[in-house]
Amino acid sequence: MEGINPLVIFFASIFTSNMILANFLGMCSFIAVSKETKTSLGLGQAVTFVLTGTTILNYFIYHYLLVPFGLEYLRFIVFIITIAAFVQLVEMIVERYLPTLYYSLGIFLPLITVNCAILGVAIFMVIRDYNLLQSIAFGIGSGIGWMLAIVAMAGIRQKIKRAPIPKGLEGAGITLIITGMMALAFIGFSGIVNIQ
């Protein structure tokens, strides 16, 4: 993928190849935390930070450790281990130095460990054969895209709090339906550029 400009990848991963709305990755924390815009923004920032960090880390581990030894098939387990350790490290740092963010995220921070968007980005990076710069752009862009989707969803959920939603659809049900509608809306961007 030598040809694609990192900037194109960056914008494409926010809009046309959004992790949530195009790939439906990282749904569990997306649905669990998208009740308030403030918390969503916090989690979105944390996901963006973790995505960027782990993508860079996984890029180096993949290209300088797994490829030279011919161990590409180990990428799933290695990526997962790296992500888990990185999230734990971030949790310690956030708890110590950014207490306000820590308290607003609370128990949701460890959720990032099992956020498949993080693993998804690392895998896509390998499958699409991105170079370092492209990977960084893809990591940051995917994080911002995820944040955009969750903040937008939180805004909508706050607005529909008093809407007469059928009892059986309250909570996760209506959230999934709205996600589908948002995904349809985002299809509008897909003609601009495609990085798949």
Partner 1 sequence: MYNILITVAVITGITAVLALILTWADVRIADYGERKIVINNDKELVVEGGNTLLSSLIANEIFIPSACGGKGTCGYCKCKVDSGAGPVLATELTYLSDSDMKNNVRLSCQVKVKDDMSIQIPEDLFNVKQFKGAIEIAKDITPTIKFLRIKITDGQEIDFKAGQYVQLLAPPYGDSTEEVFRAYSIASSSFEKNFIDLIIGYVDGGILTTYVHKHLSEGDKVTFNGPYGDFYLQESEVDVVLVAVGTGMAPIRSILYEMLHKKIDRNTIFFFGARTKDDLFMLDEMKMFENELPRFRFIPCLSRPREEDNWQGHVGRVNDAIFKYLEGKDSTEAYLCGSAPMIDSTVNALIDKGILKNNIFYDKFD
Site size for partner 1 (CB under 8 A): 23
Is residue 95 close enough to count as binding partner 1 by CB under 8 A?
Answer: yes
Residue 1: CB atoms within 10 Å? 13
Is residue 127 close enough to count as binding partner 1 by CB under 8 A?
Answer: no
Is residue 103 close enough to count as binding partner 1 by CB under 8 A?
Answer: yes
Is residue 98 close enough to count as binding partner 1 by CB under 8 A?
Answer: no
Nearer to partner 1, 3 or 64 (CB): 64
Instruction: Print the binding letters for residues 51-70 with partner 1: x by CB under 8 A, - otherwise.
Output: ----------x---xx--xx
CA proximity to 151, closest of 2, 46, 53: 46
b/e code 95-132 from CB counts within 10 Å (16+ = b): eeebeebbebbeebbebbbebbbbbbbbbbbbeeebee
Smallest separation, CB 18 to partner 1 (Å)? 27
Taking contact as CB under 8 A, which single stretch among the options 81-89, 122-130, 155-163, 165-173 is the one that binds partner 1? 81-89
Alpha-carbon distance 166 to 159, whole Å? 16
Nearer to partner 1, 29 or 134 (CB): 29
Residue 13, SS3?
A: helix
Alpha-carbon distance 157 to 48, whole Å? 22
Region of residue 70 (left: phi > 0; alpha: psi -120 to 50; beta: else): left
- The footprint of partner 1 (CB under 8 A) covers 61, 65-66, 69-71, 74, 77-78, 81-82, 85, 88-89, 92-93, 95-96, 99, 103, 106-108
